[in-house]
Chain A
Amino acid sequence: MNFKEIRDYQHRLFSKDSHPKLLGKPSEGLNPPDLPIKNPEEPLFIKSYSFEEITMVNQKAILMASDLSKRYEDGVLALDHLNLEVQPGEVYCLLGANGAGKTTTINLFLNFIPPTTGTCYVNGIDVTRDPLQAKKYVAFVSENIMLYGNFTARQNLDFFAKLGGKLNLTKEDYYLVMRRVSLQDNAFEQRVRTFSKGMRQKLGISIAIIKDAPAVLLDEPTSGLDPKAAAEFLEILVGLKNEGKAILMSTHDIFRAKEIGDRVGIMKEGRLVMERTREELQYEDLVKIYIDYMRSEPLTA
């Protein structure tokens, strides 16, 4: 499909005739290369797009890293020209040794650090250019989430829900979300400092759930969890995936990555050295691939 064909296809796809109900007031902040899929409920603003934009629209990636690099002040190249996309309803697992660039990737998507080159988009919004707008569409679960120890689980949830823009939720809404992540009822009004790590991680994911963002970023969320707690946690992720969330998870757990990931990427020295789909992995041994990559010669050598 050449450029002209793609453009014609896009014009047909988003033309006034094909989606009359979607047309209305233009949504705010749609600067190139913003995508017209920000919120399914929001009316779309139709305009002409460049070739790159059209490619993105076609793919409908919620998370997208384009030629993304990060070199820290000490000269370490943490991320080297990463290109990555995560579609709605997809779980993308990033594997790699410590320092491979997994957390840096997540930090760049959250605008915790600026990229050296390249761009990352959340729901079509350039994270560096409009970080606050981009953050509306992303939820985050970190490793060892601590939360506020003097607050109860519900108070923590209430605070982060409000930060996420959910201002009118009731106590029942919070209870519902906490039940969904299998947090026991008697823990709802308990101070979080009494929680086990597993309970805290569950509360962490319930914070991500209540934000109801189309993208969820997880940084080694199951590290330190016992197998049962990890399995429960991943079940919740599957639920989110089925809701259409785009999930990007960095992990060291190869088995669970294979189990839950629709796509698995292996990172080494800041580069995405391998990417496999679930289907491809049915016939390949991920553990062997991973170990082979880790044992291979350094890329910079």
Chain B
Amino acid sequence: MFRTLFYKEILENLASNRFLMVFVLCLIVIPLGAYVSTRDYHARQQSYQESVNLYNESHKLPTDLLYRGAKAYRPPSPLSFLSLGLEIVMPNVAETRSRAGESQSYVELKFNNNQSPDNIYEFFHGPLDLVFIVAVMMTFFAIAFSYGSVSTEKEQGTLKQILCNAVPRNQIILAKMAANYITLNIPFVFTVLLGLLIFQGNGFALFGSDRAWLYVTLSIVFSLLLIGTFFNLGLLVSTLTRQAVSTIVILLLCWILIYGILPRLSIILSQLVYPVKSQQLLAFEKNQIRMENEKECDARIDKLLDSGQSSLEKQKSIRAEYGEKLVESWQKLDREWEKRREIQMSMAMNLARLSPVSCFIRPMAEISKTGWLEYQEFAKDVSRFQLVLNEKVYSQNVFEVTKGGLQSYEGKFSGPAPIFQFQTISNESLMKNVLPDFILLVIYNLLFFAGAYVKFLRYDAR
């Protein structure tokens, strides 16, 4: 009996215009998206490579680092065709400021972003990556495939015709779910595979050492889960209503709420509940502290010079003392700000998880190495690099200041300049990070389907 019902659903879908429409749209959009995204990645990769080469050429010696400052570049992610995520807005270069003539015990670090899309118009509408295709297009198609599966049959009377036979109701709903979900995903999976061929054809190694296939597979699993969530939601609403028109209206409202409103609302709510000062304000506060610190330090040195008891050792000791004080104040400020920001972000993330779309978009960015985790990893690597620089370059080189403003330089480290090495996030950390979202998506699927299942079993067929 299940086979008959399943086969009928498949046949009905294949004969429908919506299947053709979905297939054509997927066939156009998904490979096109893959092509455009890989082309953009190539451009970013080229820019990155050129910057790194140029930097390496000009920073061969430790003195180069002192005069010009050190830089650390974050490579673009080849998986950005899955999700562009924060790739464009995330800092892609960290710079240490060389302030010759001053204490080098603390070197200021600044993250910059020198990327911008080829076409600024992209910012208005977002990229055509897999996340957009799934979160917008496929979820919409999922609704289109499921909204009528029960309510249209109720409306047309075909469900009565089925139910007057010796058919267990659970088989009807299971066949509907399985057949419609499979038919919906045929065009999606087929065209994603086509997109991967384009990816492979553009010089990416899907089965290379960086295990791109693993991330691609994980992305497809997440995509299928999100599509399933919307599909099962459609099925649930379809069992709750008696008319297909009511079903589609309710589902469109749900879609707007889940896709557009809930994630944005969660950010606003977190900002209201737990406000955090802006980065500009933080920078302003830090600058004020520095100015005060410098003022105090200069005053002490001036006093010392005036007294005629100045020596290089004493100057160094005063500057080091104030340098440490500055570092402490800044670090305290940074820690407090980071802590508050993390709480706010985690609050926003958890609230946003009420929307299945949020459980998809963020992990997809992490899987594609274009998310917040990747940025944090970059920041960690930069901090490590900074320590190396401090240890090998800045702390080993001395600037001498005299009252007349003369400067002299004495270098003690003569090896080649340390080079920044970026290590992407480990698979273990990544999996650990995306696991809650994965579980939530599974729960959403089960919840919506269970609701549809129970409602269908209790359906009053009159």
Which residue numbers of A lie inside 8 Å of B, CB to CB? 103-104, 107, 110, 112-113, 132-133, 135-136, 138-140, 142, 144-148, 150-151, 155, 159-160, 162-165, 204, 207, 211, 217
B167 / chain A contacts, CB cutoff of 8 Å: 132, 135, 163
B157 / chain A contacts, CB cutoff of 8 Å: 142, 144-146
Tell which of B1, B8, B15, B461 touches A112, judged by Cβ atoms closer than 8 Å: B461
Number of interface residues of B (CB under 8 A): 23
B1 to chain A, nearest CB (A): 7
Bound: A257/B223 CA distance, A: 58
Interface-centre pick from B4, B166, B167 (highest chain A CB count, 10 A): B166
Given A103-B462, A150-B15, A159-B8, A112 contacting B158 (CB threshold 8 A): no
Interface-centre pick from B1, B158, B165, B461 (highest chain A CB count, 10 A): B165
Tell which of B1, B16, B156 touches A163, judged by Cβ atoms closer than 8 Å: B1
Bound: A139/B164 CA distance, A: 7
A110 / chain B contacts, CB cutoff of 8 Å: 160, 163-164, 461
Given A148-B158, A150-B15, A138 contacting B164 (CB threshold 8 A): yes
> Could you show 16 A-B contacts with beta carbons less than 8 Å apart?
A103-B462, A112-B460, A112-B461, A132-B167, A132-B168, A135-B166, A140-B160, A142-B157, A146-B158, A147-B161, A148-B8, A150-B12, A150-B15, A151-B15, A159-B4, A163-B167
Closest 6 pairs (CB-CB, A-B): A146-B156, A112-B461, A140-B164, A163-B165, A150-B15, A162-B4
The reply to whether the CB of B162 lies closer than 8 angstroms to some CB of chain A is: yes
Q: Is there an interface contact between A136 and B166, defined as CB atoms closer than 8 Å?
A: yes
The reply to whether the CB of B265 lies closer than 8 angstroms to some CB of chain A is: no
Which residue numbers of B lie inside 8 Å of A, CB to CB? 1, 4-5, 8, 11-12, 15-16, 156-158, 160-168, 460-462
A155 / chain B contacts, CB cutoff of 8 Å: 11
Q: Is there an interface contact between B160 and A142, defined as CB atoms closer than 8 Å?
A: yes
B180 to chain A, nearest CB (A): 14
B7 to chain A, nearest CB (A): 8
A140 / chain B contacts, CB cutoff of 8 Å: 160-161, 164
Bound: A151/B158 CA distance, A: 12
Tell which of A135, A151, A163 touches B11, judged by Cβ atoms closer than 8 Å: A151
A104 / chain B contacts, CB cutoff of 8 Å: 462
B461 to chain A, nearest CB (A): 4
A211 / chain B contacts, CB cutoff of 8 Å: 165
B204 to chain A, nearest CB (A): 41
Bound: A207/B5 CA distance, A: 16
Q: Is there an interface contact between A112 and B161, defined as CB atoms closer than 8 Å?
A: no
A164 / chain B contacts, CB cutoff of 8 Å: 165
Bound: A107/B164 CA distance, A: 9
